[in-house]
Structure 1
Amino acid sequence: MSIVVRTLSDQTYDVVRRHILMGTMAPGTPVRQDVIANELGVSKIPLREALGRLEQDGLLTSYPNRGYVVRPLSGAEATEVFALRLKLEPGATADGARNATAEDRKVAQEALTTLEQQQDMDGTDHVTGNRVFHLALIRPAGPVTHTLLKRLHILSERYVRVHLAPQGREERARREHRQILEAWLAGDSALVESLTANHIGATLYDLKHQLGD
């Protein structure tokens, strides 16, 4: 049994990332490195490593002599990210359904169960659970496909939270996820592709109206 050792940089990355995704570090907010370092009890080195990773994830922007700022939400960025997902993800998820092993199916079922449990609890970071579920469906399609779409999902997480804010969106997402999983488990790749396209397309449509083009 392997043991995963999490560094101070990893732990700091998780905490700051959670603050950004949960909205407690609002878009446009400067990152106060001294305050974070004191609150978490870490030195500047792991903090800077964590902030560098968050910049790579598209959550922060660094400026010379100003440090890091939480990236603003952008209708243009949301449109680009979700349009790319719409082009790539339905086919990748269908390929995942065709290639899935019994273990892959177990992982996907567990991912949706965890996501639904998170949705039932206040204050949980279930946008990450959403990413884990979708990537579980994509993983059997191949490592390159999985890596590319993982990047898009990381970029889309803050927008998923915005999309789910209006009443009724959580329940709609839950219903659509269940439909996609059932078709995926049955190996119905054509239906998986159609349902996934509708799921992402509806989110893209909603975000355009919420954030503007």
Structure 2
Amino acid sequence: MTGIIVRNLSEQLVDLVRDRILAGQVDVDRAIRQDALAAELGVSKIPLREALTRLEQEGLVRSRANRGYFVRELTIAEAEEVYALRLKLEPEVAALASARATEQERSAAMQTLAQLDEATNAHGDGVGAFNRAFHLALLRPSQQPITTTMLERLHVLGERYVRKHLEPLGRDQRANDEHSQLLESWLARDVDAVRERMFAHIEQTVLDLRREFHGAGNLDG
């Protein structure tokens, strides 16, 4: 029984620290203060260090000898790689999922989009998490568990880029419109339209990110 409790604690810490990183609440250029964070979360440093090791495996943090753990910086090179993989995998998986989705899964997708719209309109935290949840709701019914797990990891890596992508005024509304059209095709089980709209949606994000990184002078990746 003790092992189950410890494992649950570790999983909870991974989720908690991941959420903070994805929300931009952990500085990129400073070592994560493990003593302070462990005290704040009410845990010892051992499970926290285990959680940070997991997040390093996920690609969100990196360890530096004698300096500790740091949140990985955003780079155009990483964005290009993440979104290139999504372009190869996600349109086809979403199309397959649209054909296989049950009524319960279709209802869940509609509810998740409604939550995403609400978070976007409120301009508050959590838009990235709801965006990820919406995309995964369109993917999981594919019954392709290995590919879906790979895409879920790509969405985690890409979530901070989603926040950067939505910073310019007006892009959040455009994203809402694209999501609505995508869900409409998905619910209609129009696999060709789902494939095309998902590809165009992801591709547009890449184009926007390139402009933002280039405009900021961050070209070296």
Question: Do Structure 1 and Structure 2 share a fold, with TM-score over 0.5?
Answer: yes
Letter in 2 for 1:35: A
Equivalent position SS for 1:62: strand
Letter in 2 for 1:151: R
8 Å CA contact 1:138, 1:145 repeated in 2: no
Give the deviation of 1:7 after TM superposition: 3.1
Counterpart of 1:171?
173
Letter in 2 for 1:12: L
Letter in 1 for 2:75: S
Counterpart of 1:76?
77
Counterpart of 1:108?
109
Q: Note the aligned Cα RMSD (angstroms).
A: 1.8
Counterpart of 1:41?
42
Query: Aligned match of 1:198 in 173, 185, 200?
Result: 200
Counterpart of 1:56?
57
Equivalent position SS for 1:140: helix
Question: 1:182-204 deviations in whole A, cap 9, x for unaligned?
Answer: 11000001111111111000001
Paired with 2:87 and 2:156, the residues of 1 have a C-alpha distance of 15
Counterpart of 1:186?
188
8 Å CA contact 1:183, 1:191 repeated in 2: yes
Equivalent position SS for 1:120: helix
Equivalent position SS for 2:30: coil
Counterpart of 2:20?
19
Letter in 1 for 2:15: D
Paired with 2:176 and 2:192, the residues of 1 have a C-alpha distance of 21
Counterpart of 2:152?
150
Equivalent position SS for 2:122: coil
Gaps of 5+ in 1: none
Gaps of 5+ in 2: none
Counterpart of 1:65?
66
Give the deviation of 1:128 after TM superposition: 1.1
Letter in 2 for 1:83: A
Q: TM-score, normalization: structure 1?
A: 0.92
Give the deviation of 1:122 after TM superposition: 4.2
8 Å CA contact 1:176, 1:199 repeated in 2: yes
Equivalent position SS for 1:154: helix
Paired with 1:22 and 1:7, the residues of 2 have a C-alpha distance of 22
Counterpart of 1:130?
131
**Greater Cα shift, 125-134 or 8-17:** 8-17
Equivalent position SS for 2:73: coil
Question: 1:69-107 deviations in whole A, cap 9, x for unaligned?
Answer: 110111000011111111111111111111111122112
Count the aligned residue pairs: 210
8 Å CA contact 1:18, 1:125 repeated in 2: no
8 Å CA contact 1:81, 1:156 repeated in 2: yes
Q: TM-score, normalization: structure 2?
A: 0.89
Give the deviation of 1:123 after TM superposition: 3.3
8 Å CA contact 1:30, 1:67 repeated in 2: yes
Give the deviation of 1:64 after TM superposition: 2.2
